[in-house]
Structure formats: C-alpha cells, structure tokens
Structure 1
Amino acid sequence: MARTLTSDDLDAYGDLAFPTDPQEMLAELVAAVDEDRIADPEDVPYALTLAASAAAKLKDEARALELSARGVEVSEGRRDHFNSRGEHADLLLRYGHEDDGMALLRALRPQLSRDLLADHYVITPLVENGRHELAEEWLTAALATALGVADRAEDDSDVEQDAFDIADRLLVLRYDLRREMDLPLDETDRVAEQVDDDEVSDFRFWPEAAYAKLLAALPPEEDDSPPTWDEHRAVIERRMQASDPSDLPVIEVGTPDMLAVFLADDGTPVPPGPLLPWPPGRNDPCWCGSRVKYKKCCLPRGRG
C-alpha cells in the first residue's frame, strides 16, 4: 500500500542536505497529491512546488510550469499562498514568460512592506533572474512605505514595532543589493551602515558553502569552530533558544566578501554582513537557508 506523505516527508524532499533522485521524487509527490495521500491538506501546495522543482531539475519546462501553476491554484486561502506564487513567478521568468511572471510579482509587491519575509518570494525571484535594478527600486519604495506606516502608527504599538522591524530588514537588504551591484553609497546606505555599527553581532552565521571553505582554510589547531555546518547552525539555534526573548543576541550572516577578508588575515577590517531577523515563524523558510520550514529544520536542532 502506498504511504501517506507527512510534513516530515515533504521537508526531507525539500532539504538540500538530502539529495533525492528527481525522477523518483517527482513521481512520488505527484502520485501522493493525485491519490489524496498528503497527510496535512495545508501541505498540498508545498508538495506541488517540490514536484515542480524536481521537474525543473529534469529540464522538463512544461511539466515544471504545469505543477507550479497547479500549486498556485490550490494554495488559495492556505498558508503557502504567497510562497507558491513567488515560486511560480520564478519559474515563469526563468523560462522566458516575462509578462506572466512579472504580473505575479507585481501583485505580491505590496507584501514587501507588510511581511518580514516577503523578500523570499518577491525579491529573490527578481535577483535570481537578473532583475537587480528593479529589485533595488522595489526595496527602496517598500522601505519608504514601511517607515511611513511606522510614523503614522501609535507610539510603542505592535503596528509601529512590526513596521520598524520590516524597515530594518528592507534597509539591510537594499544596502547589500546595492553593494552587489557596485552602486555608490547614498544617504540611505549610510543609515544602513550605521545600523550595522550600532548593532554589533554576537554571533556570525556562515552559509554552508562558506563554512566548508572556512574549515578547509584554517588548520584544526587554530580553529575551535564546530566540525560540521550542521553543528555550526545547531550551536547558533541552541544559543538563540536559550537567550532572553526580550534581549536576543544579534546574528550576522557571513557573505563571500566577508569570508575573503577574513581568510586573507592581512589586517583589513571584516566588512559588516546582513543581520538575521529572529525568530522566524514556525512555517516560514528556515533562517539557515535550507528552504525547509523552520519547524522541521533548525528549530528541533536547538533542542538536541
């Protein structure tokens, strides 16, 4: 008898640390959806998005777009509503369907000033498809909108705090993107630099590829870092969970530029990296970049 796929099963498919044969993955996911074998109905859009990714790996453009569009259709009113649309827009742009892809992203654009993690499904598709200038334009406008919401909100209200949190994230994202584009610093960039100076990081998190280079470059006797990337992110997760929620440590994300300066060890100051918002929602993509839901990725690592 064919098995029912749980959230854990789907997250295992989505976890880049557990590579799966894309043909096998595609077949099982589609069959599970068609035969109503997804344990949690809320996970159906997620299963279809994963199936579309598998089809894309197989270079089956038509199948990838079909499954992705189906995921958008069934996501209506569900928690993956925005993410499904962002993933579909990414595929549309990747395969040259400019008008349809941009129409989806323009509809999602207002979320940039409403949702702390909207950049995952609005800005990332733009950047990954070479639309850096438009991404910078949208981040700039969303930052102004978020600051306007904060300015109009009642002092010390949840609305004001949420708007400031979103503005801080947009500020850093814009600054990092403009640096990537080699644009000259403007006044807003200087504010972002000041934010970095004011919020000295307590922890530095290295993405997986950067951490591997770090471990390879440093002799074991000179390095007390955790021996694997899994343990590196687990250490940060444990420390965050053990911290006072009202005064959380600051996590800085290591970038390629930072790694190059760090490994050169020639006295050049390590440039600041983006700060990691904390905590993510349980059903949001995990902070470590795995794209697996936080509740199924690093959240349980911190309890180990």
Structure 2
Amino acid sequence: MPTKDVITSADLAEIRRSALGAANPLGVAAELADAVEQGRLAEPGDAGDALTLAAEIAEVRTRLDAALRYADRAVAAYPSGDDPRAGFARALRARILFRTGGRDDEAMADLTALRPLLVEQPDAPAYVSAALDAGGRSATAEEWLSEAVDTLLGQRETAAGEPAEAVSTAGHEAVEVGPPEAPGVLFFLLQQRHRVRRDLNLPHDRTDDLADRVESQLLRRAQQQQTAEPDLLFFPQAEFDRLLADQAGLTEAYGPDWDAHRARLEKELVRLAGTGPAGLHVLRASVNGLTGYAGRQGGDPAEPQVRAGYVRELEARPDARVAWPPERNDACWCGSGLKYKKCCLPRSRS
C-alpha cells in the first residue's frame, strides 16, 4: 500500500478488502499503526479500527508478537467500553493470547468480561465463539451460547406473560426474531450455537431445530421483500463482467449481460416512478463490496438475504447513490458517456 498523508475511512475499508493480497501485508499493518501514532487518520475515531485491522493482518501472517502489540493498542484506543467495536478488539486480543501459548488464563478473563454482550450485541456471538474456538474452548462456547439463548427466550416468554419457570424449548414455535432487515441478537445466537454444536459433532436438539426454522423464516421474508421491492444494485460494466465471471448464478438476478442489466434497472425505475416515489436512484455496487459483505455475514452472494443486506449497507452511503433520471441530453446514469436519450432511456421500451 503506498504511503498516504491521510488515511480515510474509505481507505480503511479498501485496505480490509485487499491487504492480504498485497505484496507486503505486514508493511500495510505497520503503516496503519504508524498512521494512528502520527495522527494521519482523517477521522481520529478510526484509530481503534485501524489498529484492529493491523492486528488481524499480523495474526493471519502468524506474527503474533506484532499482532498482540497492535491489539493492545486497539483496545486502549476505544474511549468507551460500550463501543461495540471495543468488544471485537478485546476478543481478537484474547484469540491472539490463546495462540501465543501460556496466556490462556488472561485470554479467558478477557472473554469472560465480554460474556454479557452475548445477549446485547448481534456481533458478539460470532467474535466471542471464534475466540473460544481458537483456544480449543469450543465446548465452553457451546455452553455460553446455550445459556444466552435460554436467557433471551426466557426474557421474551416472561415479557409475554409466561411465568419464568415455564420457559422451555417447548414454546420455540412462537419465537419471533424480528423483521429480516434487523434479525436481532437471538438470531445470531442461534446461528452461532448451531455452528459450534455442528463442529463439536453434538446431536441435533430442539434449539437447533429452532435455528433451522428461524433461518428459513428469514429467508422467506427476504425473498418476499425482494419480490415486492427489487434491489437496484448497479454494477458498472467492468464490475458486471467480473461479477458474472465470479458468480455465474447471479445472471437471473442481474441479467445475462450488461445491456440486459441496464435495461432491467431502467424498466424498474420507470415502473417505480409511475407509482409516485421521488428521489429514485440506483446503488453503485462492486464485486469486492458484495463478496466482502457476504463474507462478514458468513453467507453467499447468491443468497437473496445477503444481497438485500448489501443493498441496505449501500443505502447508508450517499456516495453510492446514482440519481435517476438524468435530463435527456445529460450523460446517462450508467456511465457509458453517451447522452441519456441515446443510451438507457430507450431501454425502458425494449
């Protein structure tokens, strides 16, 4: 990575996607740490993120001494323990401690302090269980996740008017985890518990059945939502060609070629305009962005709920929005360089 005077949040996101493929990943990690120390971050609040990323890179490259130094600094960089990112940094530090050897007690102390987050933060089940797995404590992960699931189910059933002592897996059929755009902590707990038990070769139990049902329920909802509100992901030509080379199964969702992709979007925008909404736009997408989001969620880009989540991520970024429609004589929204009237406007009629 070339040295930059100032590293932005967007730079950090790009480094996360590409650092391990760089010629010198450890140099990238050192550059991130130097940028924090020298005050070269555009957003000082990104210090913890930059140091956490440096620690992850060094850990993957098995430079555990450097990884631990970066992780120590990352934990210290978060001014409040309430910041969800602080929890991930501490879990990463614990994972590195396990791998260095001889410091298991210290790692377990860190993770035990994070245990209450299992019922509070959606990301916590994944990073706490991953750290325990790294320390050969998968059985402990299963115990903690199971107790957290029971705690949340008990809270839900008690809030619904059931006596606390009546809480059991018998009522699982009635569990509601929230809408697909915000599945909630329970969903992620069930998902991670299911994974850990599978890795431990434990027999399928009623809570595993619940995990399967909840996942199927959310998938159906996401598919229904996608049918009602199609995503408007737009892949520029080079990205589209790369998308189909990497994910051939997405031709049904985005078209067999770039012309068909643009025509599908133009027709959908015309249809939506006819229903009255203003401020229509497409979302400029990338293959790295989609696959990176899928990786963070532990999913596959071909899954509708993963693509729907990527749409929501881009919707929160104004720089990803491409306004529609342009004036007839203005440059087309697709980036072809042609006037709109000569490019995508006629596609809505084809």
Bin the TM-score by the shorter chain. Answer: 0.5 to 0.7
Q: Which residue of 2 aligns with 1:15?
A: 17
Task: Give matches, 1:53-202, under 5 Å.
Answer: 53-77=56-80, 78=83, 80-96=85-101, 97-153=103-159, 165-196=184-215, 201=220
Q: CA deviation at 1:119?
A: 1.7
The 1:136/1:150 distance shift into structure 2, 3 A limit, reads: same
C-alpha contact 1:12 1:18 (8 A) present in aligned 2: no
The 1:110/1:51 distance shift into structure 2, 3 A limit, reads: same
C-alpha contact 1:49 1:67 (8 A) present in aligned 2: yes
The count of residues paired between Structure 1 and Structure 2 equals 230
Q: Which residue of 2 aligns with 1:30?
A: 33
Q: 1:3 aligns with which of 2, 5, 11?
A: 5
Q: Which residue of 2 aligns with 1:227?
A: 245
Q: CA deviation at 1:230?
A: 10
Larger relative contact order (C-alpha < 8 A, sep ≥ 6)?
1
Other structure's SS at 2:245 match: coil
Q: CA deviation at 1:142?
A: 0.4
Flag structure 1 segments of 5+ consecutive residues without an equivalent.
Answer: 204-224, 237-241, 243-285
Following TM superposition, where does structure 1 have runs of at least 4 consecutive aligned residues deviating by more than 4 angstroms? Answer: 160-164, 196-203, 229-232, 301-304
The 1:49/1:185 distance shift into structure 2, 3 A limit, reads: same
- CA RMSD for the aligned pairs? 3.9
The 1:18/1:98 distance shift into structure 2, 3 A limit, reads: closer
The 1:172/1:48 distance shift into structure 2, 3 A limit, reads: closer
Q: Which residue of 1 aligns with 2:238?
A: none
Q: CA deviation at 1:226?
A: 3.8
Q: Aligned letter for 2:77?
A: V
Q: 1:300 aligns with which of 314, 327, 331?
A: 314
Deviations 1:74-115 (A, max 9, x none): 113155211111111111112122011111111111111111
Q: CA deviation at 1:191?
A: 3.1
Q: Given the two structures, how large is their TM-score scaled by the length of structure 2?
A: 0.55
Q: Distance in 2 between matches of 1:33 and 1:231?
A: 42
Q: Kindly, what percent of the aligned residue pairs are identical?
A: 32
Q: Distance in 1 between matches of 2:116 and 2:108?
A: 14
Deviations 1:122-169 (A, max 9, x none): 1121124432211111110000111122234368xxxx9599832233
Other structure's SS at 1:289 match: helix
